[in-house]
Amino acid sequence: MNSNKLKLNDDKTEILLMKSGRQTINTPSVSINHNTIDMAEKAKNLEVIFDSDFSMQHQLSTLCKSLYFQLRKIGSIREYPTEKVAKTHVTSLILSKFDYCNSTLAGCLQNKLQKLQSIMNNSARLLCRKPKTTHVTQLLRFLHWLPVKQRLTTKLQSCVSNLFTVQASTIIPVRSPRDPPITKCLRSPKDTNMLKVLRVNVKTYGERSFSYIGPVTLAQNSHVSEAVPNTGYLKKETKNFPVSELLNLCRLSSPTD
């Protein structure tokens, strides 16, 4: 830190020990610059709150409170702006928070992500001025909004695809190993760029690591995995694959303007 002309702020320094929620570990305090710092149960980094058991419960609770606050503010003035202006408000104040660092929520239980999905559903109903009982799938299709789970998938596939670029190779030197080259004649000989899925010892936490969930998410879309060398085509397929999944959920006509 001295070489970068930085100095620790003792009042804002937090130390977090990541462990399983079932483990009971006596965490001693740490002395830095003659100041004693106790282990924290949660710590914030880049506006993302990490729990000691990596459950992301505090992050989800804080995010839901912020989104509901913005949703109530927009709902109080919804009758005044046009649909285009209201969509801009919802996109900038609500949807942008869905996408910020959402890859840290990968691997979370579906019941935890359902809270975020409920907020997105209410935002779509508010924007389209529909009652609470309206089925939201058609509204998401009409607004071209991906559900929360598909947004996580898209972000992970985008992060994995960036590892194959020249710029990322200088920033992230550690990558997931690739599978050995295919020498036999297989049905899909193009899958020579597939990343190798590493074995994990701990199912709950190991499967949430980027080295595991990244290759698994990339393998879910064969078009993306085949297009790894072509970054332009890869980015296009990374976005189109979740959209096609959403369109398959409903084949009825979308609402009219």
90: which 2 tokens? 């919802």
Residues 166 and 206 in one domain: yes
Cβ atoms of 106 and 208 within 8 Å: the answer is: yes
For residue 111, is it within any domain?
A: yes
For residue 227, is it within any domain?
A: yes
Residues 199 and 176 in one domain: yes
For residue 257, is it within any domain?
A: no
Last residue of a domain, one of 152, 186, 205: 152
Least confident of 30-34, 224-228, 252-256: 252-256
Residues 224 and 158 in one domain: yes
236: which 2 tokens? 């296009």
- Distance, CA of 176 to CA of 163 (rounded, Å): 9
Name the domain count of the chain: 2
Q: How confident is the model at residue 229 (pLDDT cuts 50, 70, 90)?
A: very low
Residues 232 and 186 in one domain: yes
Residues 160 and 242 in one domain: yes
- Distance, CA of 149 to CA of 19 (rounded, Å): 26
Task: For residue range 3-48, list pLDDT tens digits in order.
Answer: 777 777 777 777 877 777 666 767 677 777 677 777 778 888 888 8
Least confident of 24-28, 91-95, 162-166, 203-207: 162-166
Strand pairing class (48-51; 42-45): antiparallel
Q: Which residue has the tokens 């975020």?
A: 116
Last residue of a domain, one of 136, 152, 168: 152
Full residue range of the structural domain in which residue 192 is found: 153-246
- Residue 33's SS3 state is coil
Query: For residues 244, 250, 255 and 257, what is the CA-based torsion angle, rounded to 10 degrees?
Result: 0
- Distance, CA of 204 to CA of 184 (rounded, Å): 35
Q: Which of 254, 17, 16 is nearest to 138 (CA)?
A: 254
Q: Which of 247, 257, 37, 237 is nearest to 153 (CA)?
A: 237
Residue 192 has pLDDT above 50, yes or no: no
Residue 164 has pLDDT above 70, yes or no: no
Q: How confident is the model at residue 250 (pLDDT cuts 50, 70, 90)?
A: very low
Residues 89 and 134 in one domain: yes
What's the pTM value of the predicted model, to 2 decimals?
0.70
Last residue of a domain, one of 152, 174, 199: 152
Residues 208 and 241 in one domain: yes
> What DSSP letter does each residue of 43-103 carry, written as one string?
EEETTEEEETTS--HHHHHHHHHHHHHHHHHHHHTTTSS-HHHHHHHHIIIIIHHHHTTGG
Residue 69 has pLDDT above 80, yes or no: yes
**Percentages of the chain per state (helix, strand, coil), in multiples of 5:** 50, 10, 40
Residues 105 and 193 in one domain: no
Give the mean pLDDT of 105-130.
Answer: 86
The percentage of the chain sitting over the pLDDT mark of 70, rounded to a whole number, equals 64
pLDDT at 252: 39
Higher pLDDT, 239 or 197: 197
Strand pairing class (15-16; 39-40): parallel
The answer to whether the Cα torsion of 196, 186, 245, 146 is positive or negative is positive
Cβ atoms of 97 and 67 within 8 Å: the answer is: yes
Residues 128 and 95 in one domain: yes
Burial group, residue 4, by CB count within 10 angstroms (0-12, 13-18, 19+): exposed
Residue 99 has pLDDT above 50, yes or no: yes
Residue length of the chain? 257
Residues 142 and 185 in one domain: no
Most confident of 43-47, 154-158, 193-197: 43-47
Residues 74 and 85 in one domain: yes
Q: Which residues share a beta bridge with 195?
A: 178
| Backbone angles phi and psi of 30, in degrees to 5 | -120, 135
Residues 147 and 199 in one domain: no
